Structure 1
Amino acid sequence: MTMDRDGPGAILVGIDGSTPSMRAAAYAVGMARRQHCRLIAVYVRSLPSSLLPLADTGGTATVTTIDAQDAVERELREAFQEYLPALGVEAELVIRTGDAFAELIAAAGEARADAVIVGRSAGLLHRIAGSLAVKLVRCGRWPVTVVP
């Protein structure tokens, strides 16, 4: 935060096209508009090398996953171009590839984000191993808002 303003200078929101992440994005847009600050939306694509094809599929699963990520990225870019100009928010969409936790931390650091907003994870595995939101909270570098 800067001394000449009340509130954050930049808010980072993690998005992946899921319903909770899109709710987080809507929340972040409203917060950025009210606080008169920048919004950085980050979509993290999985690493293709970490996408192991299923047995005897000839790589079809990997190609399908990459195609799905391409489709999500395309939809996010279209939404940014269509809706954000009317909302009066200075925003940018950042596309990164890698581990979501590591890439969100790196992006928040580079953007000098004052807050991080993410959607709630609904996966059973995340309840056992720890969700992205929990990892971000434990990191303790920024206030983290988890949107249901």
Structure 2
Amino acid sequence: MEHLVEEYGPRWEPGPYERGTDGPRVILVGTDTSPTGLRAAAYAAGLARRQRARLVVVYVAAPSLWAGLAAAAVVEVQQQTFEEEIEQLRSQLHERADELGVPVTFMVRRGETYPELREAADEVSADLVVVGASEQGGHRLVGSVGNRLVRAAIWPVVVVP
């Protein structure tokens, strides 16, 4: 699967890139269909509407570590799950983009979540990154995507519970 980028809502005109302005001009949210992922998307959408900022929604299809070792049938089921989540998010964004009144870009990327979100944020010159809190207990030991983004110290990061 190659990267997918779709645009919704009003056309966004890039201005001069500047950190530290009155508010974020480009808000990137990493999301999926988990409860915390959807809350992060809702929070970022509301903030983008209030700040009149561009909203960049990024879904990362991150195959599990075991996918490479699994049988083809398991990998196919995982791919089908990704496609269903992508279609669900695409549908919701398409419905809400005009009502938000802000430019919305939907990006689908494939790979490990942290580096893909970091690369996407760099590509769009994000002023703020929003992600949902991890729901996996093991992340307390090895660190979640939110923790890794915060430690990168490149942009402000909001982790939505």
Q: Same fold (TM over 0.5)?
A: yes
State the shift of 1:46 in Å: 2.0
Q: 1:29 aligns with which of 33, 37, 45?
A: 45
State the shift of 1:42 in Å: 0.3
* Alpha-carbon distance between aligned partners in 1 of 2:49 and 2:89, rounded to the nearest angstrom: 19
* Alpha-carbon distance between aligned partners in 1 of 2:113 and 2:65, rounded to the nearest angstrom: 15
Give the partner amino acid of 2:123.
E
Match of residue 57 from structure 2: 41
Q: Pairwise CA RMSD of aligned residues? A: 1.8
Is 1:16 the counterpart of 2:29? The answer is no
* Alpha-carbon distance between aligned partners in 2 of 1:96 and 1:49, rounded to the nearest angstrom: 17
* Alpha-carbon distance between aligned partners in 2 of 1:104 and 1:93, rounded to the nearest angstrom: 13
Q: Spell out structure 1 runs of 4+ moving beyond 6 A.
A: none
Give the partner amino acid of 1:26.
A
Is 1:99 the counterpart of 2:119? The answer is no
User: Is this contact kept in 2: 1:53–1:61, CA < 8 A?
Assistant: no
Q: 2:99 aligns with which of 83, 86, 103?
A: 86
State the shift of 1:49 in Å: 8.9
State the shift of 1:53 in Å: 4.8
SS of equivalent residue, structure 2 residue 155: coil
Q: 2:130 aligns with which of 117, 134, 138?
A: 117
TM-score, normalised by the number of residues in structure 2? 0.83
Cα deviation code 1:40-80 (max 9, x no counterpart): 000011258962354xxx42211110100000001011111
User: Is this contact kept in 2: 1:48–1:66, CA < 8 A?
Assistant: no
In terms of fraction of residues, the more helix-rich structure is: 1
User: Is this contact kept in 1: 2:63–2:78, CA < 8 A?
Assistant: no
TM-score, normalised by the number of residues in structure 1? 0.90
* Alpha-carbon distance between aligned partners in 2 of 1:147 and 1:81, rounded to the nearest angstrom: 23
Is 1:60 the counterpart of 2:76? The answer is no
Pairs aligned (count): 144
Cα deviation code 1:72-124 (max 9, x no counterpart): 00101111111221121211100111111000000000000000000000101
SS of equivalent residue, structure 1 residue 51: helix
Match of residue 150 from structure 2: 137
